[in-house]
């Protein structure tokens, strides 16, 4: 068995007086896994991802990612942690529209203090690998949704994060572009990238993950382990 990349231990999180958004969730994700987090709207999927990304803190429980205790980090520590350990992809891409594609992709490396030349070379290489090298000097507004999501994936991979997180990455895409992103995530995982994808999209979960977790009302109700389970769901 490979080393754990994510370890959540009895994690709970509630907002204000509402019911718990997450309740006593424990979860281990190992290096090289690709895990889909499924569940209805409001079931706590984004809350789970945000806790792993250090964008939010649990009320109780511990979150450890690649050896870092994330639940105890302050703002600055969490920002450093994210730059070093996490690549994140969102439903609506979150690209900066007044920067070129290449400058969007380079940004995380600049924030991490990587040299300009090396960062530019890596960005160009990533854009080529993802099939969007010809758009390096274009602005994101000129690209299709599927192309923008590829740029977002390139940006997420810039600092070679041990963990790639995606929150509904196909939610704003047409079916063909969504399948394209699914194949991209599957390819990255085949090359060893550990991935956690939150999605409503069962087809995406099947196409790009080795394991599925289902959240209902803030708790894990069902977990299907191993690639075999994915096979039998096809």
Residues that bind ligand ADP (CB under 6 A): 15-16, 18, 21, 39, 41-47
> Hey, what are 147's tokens?
């192309």
Per-residue binding string, Mg ion, 42-81, x by CB under 5 A, is ---xx-----------------------------------
Shortest Cβ 46–Mg ion spacing (Å): 3
Of 157, 166, 143, residue with least CA distance to 191: 157
Shortest Cβ 1–ligand ADP spacing (Å): 29
Shortest Cβ 39–ligand ADP spacing (Å): 6
Q: How many Å apart are CA 76 and CA 105, to the nearest integer? A: 22
- Comparing CB distances to ligand ADP, the nearer of 123 and 165 is 165
Q: Sheet holding 194-198: strands in order across? A: 86-89, 163-167, 194-198, 34-38, 211-216, 219-224
Shortest Cβ 30–ligand ADP spacing (Å): 23
Q: Is 177 left (phi over 0), alpha (psi -120 to 50) or beta?
A: alpha
- Comparing CB distances to Mg ion, the nearer of 46 and 149 is 46
The option from ligand ADP, Mg ion, none interacting with 41 (CB < 5 to 8 A, set by class) reads ligand ADP
Q: Which residue is nearest to Mg ion (CB)?
A: 46
- Comparing CB distances to Mg ion, the nearer of 40 and 72 is 40
Q: How many Å apart are CA 151 and CA 158, to the nearest integer? A: 11
In whole angstroms, how far apart are CA 81 and each of 54, 56, 142, 158, 231?
8, 13, 32, 15, 35
Residue 230 binding Mg ion, by CB under 5 A: no
Which residues here bind Mg ion, judged by CB under 5 A? 45-46
């Amino acid at each position: 068995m490979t080393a754990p990349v994510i370890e959540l231990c009895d994690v709970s999180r509630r907002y204000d007086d509402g019911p718990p958004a997450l309740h006593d969730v424990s979860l281990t994700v190992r290096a090289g896994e690709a895990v889909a987090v499924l569940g209805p709207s409001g079931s706590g999927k984004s809350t789970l991802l945000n806790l792993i990304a250090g964008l939010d803190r649990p009320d109780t429980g511990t979150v450890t990612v690649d050896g870092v205790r994330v639940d105890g980090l302050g703002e600055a520590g969490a920002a450093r942690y994210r730059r070093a350990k996490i690549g994140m992809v969102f439903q609506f891409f979150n690209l900066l529209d007044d920067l070129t594609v290449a400058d969007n992709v380079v940004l995380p490396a600049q924030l991490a203090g990587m040299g300009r030349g090396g960062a530019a070379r890596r960005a160009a290489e990533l854009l080529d690998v993802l099939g969007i090298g010809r758009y390096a000097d274009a602005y994101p507004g000129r690209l299709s949704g599927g192309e923008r999501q590829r740029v977002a994936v390139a940006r997420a991979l810039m600092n070679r994060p041990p963990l790639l997180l995606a929150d509904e990455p196909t939610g704003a895409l047409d079916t063909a572009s969504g399948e394209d992103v699914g194949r991209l995530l599957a390819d990255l995982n085949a090359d060893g990238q550990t991935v956690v994808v939150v999605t409503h999209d069962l087809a995406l979960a099947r196409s790009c993950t080795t394991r599925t977790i289902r959240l209902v009302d803030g708790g894990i109700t069902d977990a299907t382990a191993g690639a075999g389970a994915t096979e039998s769901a096809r």
